[in-house]
Amino acid sequence: MSSDRSMSSLVSAVHTPFRADGSLAPEVVATQAAFLAANGIRTVFVTGTTGECHSLTHDERRAMFDAWAEASPAHGMRVMAHVGGNVLEEARALARHAAARGLSAISALAPSYYRPATMDALVEWCAAIAAEAPDLPFYYYDIPSMTGVTLPIDRFLREAGARIPTLAGVKFTNLDLVSYRRSLDVAAGRYDLPWGTDEALLGALATGARGAVGSTYNWAPALYAGLMDAFARGDLAEAQQRQSTAVAMIDALSSVGFMGAAKALMTHLGVPVGPARAPLGNPSPSAIDALLQRLDALGFESWGARPVS
């Protein structure tokens, strides 16, 4: 299956909403969907790294698929379900559930405890998951900084293409632009390779990226849409300036704990996604106030998402 190009634009890797006590809050998803749609986002990536997938139970991930399946149609929104994990049978069951709920595509990262040591083992793992949703595009989720799996994606595309009929591409969250270019050459337009590192989007565009998946697109889509537009029309100076702003923004959030800060920012914008789950931390109210001042100094009002009224 060639790519349906569902990720050839800005795709928001969305947060999993929790209540103040840490319990799941699926009722917030309708607000998330409306907020993102109002800010130009048409495809979301759910229960991935930003969605704290490894801090969710199997049933909670199913509940997130249900909530997005119910909220997305009103906004014409496509939903890619991340189903990967360390337990193959759970990943297969999540793939079946995503298909049953009519979601748009599935994705899976490699297991990160007992890791596939060979390309054959990785392809076999992905093929077993993809087979459970034979009508949905499948994207491998390459994120070696989290999984420790560093098998080359150009080889994956060569070998997986013949064994996974639904293979649509790879979510490439890896700063190695040489590997990315090799992979794009192998993909040759048949597979989609959305970029997954927000603070290096400009470098990826110059290397050949056509779309991107990231967490900061939840609250700063206009910043990156402007970056992509500037690059497309050859205004490198503006594209560089916007990328510098993105780096400064990410540095600001990271200085107080990125995940907790990101979720606090979304809550500030009217989308109450709650705190990050342990072992991740959450910034104090005073740290959030200082963060908002730093973002305002960077011009957040001009390039950030519009708050929910």
Catalytic residue numbers read: 141, 171
Where does 100-259 show beta strands of DSSP type E? 105-109, 138-142, 167-172, 212-214
56: DSSP letter: S
CA gap 89, 251 in Å, rounded: 38
CA gap 154, 168 in Å, rounded: 14
Structure tokens at 190: 């048949």
193 exposed, middle or buried (CB, 10 Å; 0-12, 13-18, 19+)? Answer: buried
Closest CA to 106 of 204, 1, 221, 9: 1
CA gap 178, 234 in Å, rounded: 22
Structure tokens at 48: 């991935």
What's the distance, Cα to Cα, between the start and end of the chain in Å? 42
Look-up of token digits 């979510």: 171
Give me the residues paired with residue 80 across strands: 45, 105
- Letter for the amino acid at 226? G
Closest CA to 265 of 279, 250, 277: 250
- Letter for the amino acid at 29? V
Look-up of token digits 């011009």: 299
Residues 123 and 160: beta-carbon distance below 8 Å: yes
CA gap 143, 150 in Å, rounded: 8
